[in-house]
Amino acid sequence: MKLSVVVTVYNEEDNVIPLCEKEYEALEGIDYELILVDDGSTDKTVENIKKVANERTKLLIFNQNYGQSTAMSAGIDAAQGEYIVTMDGDLQNDPADIPVMLAKLEESGLDVVAGVRANRQDGFVLRKFPSKIANWIIRNTTDVRLSDYGCSLRIYRSDIAKNLGLYGELHRFIPVLAKLQGARMTEVDVNHHARIHGESKYGINRTFKVMADLILMIFFQKYFKKPMHLFGGLGILTFAAGMLINLYLLIVKFGFGEDIWGRPLLLLGAILVIGGIQFITVGIIAELMMRTYYESQNKKVYRLKETFVGEAKA
């Protein structure tokens, strides 16, 4: 199969029928499957999908709401296409952009083509402005230079999509997860429509979740395979600072006969020494866990792009 289109939906009863119709129209002539993942909707979303579904449509129904990352992961797991598209089910993404993105991916030889909402139809204060700040922070902390991390419309080669490791709410950081696999990516401008039916499932409170997940992404990028470099380095610096303070206080105590009991500096020195030991201990434990993660599942710390065997010359 050429293409799998994965769409996550949650309480989108008024959007799913026109969504499916637009998908069927846009993808005509392509060997594709449409996978809709219902993330525990409590309205008529599932009922309406069943009304319009054709032989190319597969519907995965969750028994409760697990979140967009889990829904997207389930759809990707079920996908059989050579290329996998992800998109939202609120009709703000345009299925007509998919053939263009597919052609771009095939001709470029890259691994990911990400959509950029060039003329975004959202409110400025609650959506556009926070999104611009988040995009700037993510670009400059992860060094993955994409313009629009919030656009769900992307197309991937299957082997990249199926090894993303989506947990929690990491769908916002899919480009970073793909980059961890060595994926090469580019961007194209895509259409973006104002929401007509229903309400957005995301609010300003998602900013805090994004910041928390960003810390995790930075750790994954720089220290996942070498956690001791982070915790060990912090531990050595903290321990050394504490020992220097304690050495100074010893000189003050025995060299000059001053009373050091009750000094805040004494408490600080003791805390730094204990904290340094704890950082180093955490680093060792994290290193053991990392090795267990790979070795217990026969995983490799590398990913081969290609293996070539030469032939004997005549």
Concatenating the DSSP letter of every residue in the chain gives --EEEEEEESS-TTTHHHHHHHHHHHTTTS-EEEEEEE-S-SSSHHHHHHHH--TTEEEEE-SS---HHHHHHHHHHH--SSEEEEEESSS-B-GGGHHHHHHHHHHH--SEEEEEETT--S-IIIIIHHHHHHHHHHHHHH----S-TT---EEEEHHHHTTS---TTGGGGHHHHHHHTT--EEEEEE-B----SS--S--TTHHHHHHHHHHHHHHHHHHTT-HHHHHHHHHHHHHHHHHHHHHHHHIIIIIH----TT-HHHHHHHHHHHHHHHHHHHHHHHHHHHHHHHHHTT--SS--S----PPPP-
What tens digit of pLDDT does each residue of 207-230 get? Answer: 667 777 778 888 887 888 888 888
Instruction: Give the pLDDT band (50/70/90) at residue 140.
Output: confident
* Residue 122 predicted with pLDDT over 70: no
The mean pLDDT of the chain is 84
Q: pLDDT tens, 52-91?
A: 999 999 999 998 888 888 889 899 999 999 999 999 888 8
Predicted structure pTM score: 0.75
pLDDT greater than 60 at residue 262: yes
Q: How confident is the model at residue 282 (pLDDT cuts 50, 70, 90)?
A: very high
- For the chain, give the percent of residues with pLDDT over 70: 87
| pLDDT at 144 (0 to 100) | 81
Q: What per-residue confidence (pLDDT) applies to 309?
A: 62
Structure tokens at 244: 């220097």
Please say if the pLDDT value at position 196 is more than 80.
Answer: no
What is the arithmetic mean of pLDDT over 248-268? Answer: 87
Going from N- to C-terminal start, the domains of the chain cover: 3-222, 227-296
Bridge partners of 157?
83
- The whole-number pLDDT of residue 310 equals 57
Is the CATH number of domain 3-222 3.90.550.10?
yes
